[in-house]
Amino acid sequence: MKQIKILFLYMSFLMLGLSSCQDSVTVVDTNVELDKRNWSYTEKIRIPVKIESTDIPYNLYLNLRHTADYKYSNIFILIHIIGPDGKKSTERKEFKLALPDGEWLGSGSGNTYSYQISFKENYKFPVKGTYIFELEQNMRDNPLDHVSDAGIRVVKAL
């Protein structure tokens, strides 16, 4: 019985220690839930990201979740980046979501598949400040069904 108490205390301290650690590499990792799992052209996902250094390279990722009922093997997204100076850049990106045989590439949990797909590596922001990332679905369907949420992840490249 004493060993169980010691093991419980050890595990409690371990969990407390792990939960208090902060990830100093991740700048932002967020998703925005889409109403009724439908993504309309007019529904741009806006995510602010504060960049404190122009000397550090960053890796940028698309976060995406969809259900097994999503009917395409890919998704096209317009990625707008609005800088602190108001300058806007836009890129149209295609993200592959499934293999030719229909097997999803994302990690599955129940009926939902999750992705973190790189779209820029070792990117250096030109100026310090808050950037606004806008994600806009760019598929033929409007609204695009069975997409539950989308977002971005920005991490310091080490």
Q: Find out whether 124 and 56 touch, Cβ atoms under 8 Å.
A: yes
Cβ count near 60 (within 10 Å): 21
Give φ, ψ of 36 to 5 degrees.
60, 25
Q: Give pLDDT, residue 16.
A: 41
CA 18, CA 21: separation in Å to the nearest integer? 5
Report which secondary-structure segment, H or E, holds 116: strand 112-123
| Residue found under tokens 């100026």 | 127
Residue among 131, 130, 125, 43 nearest 82 (CA): 131
The pLDDT tens digits along the chain (158 residues) read: 555 544 444 444 444 444 444 578 999 999 999 999 999 999 999 999 999 999 999 999 999 999 999 999 999 999 999 999 999 999 999 999 999 999 999 999 889 999 999 999 999 999 999 999 999 999 999 999 999 999 999 999 98
Instruction: Give the pTM.
Output: 0.82
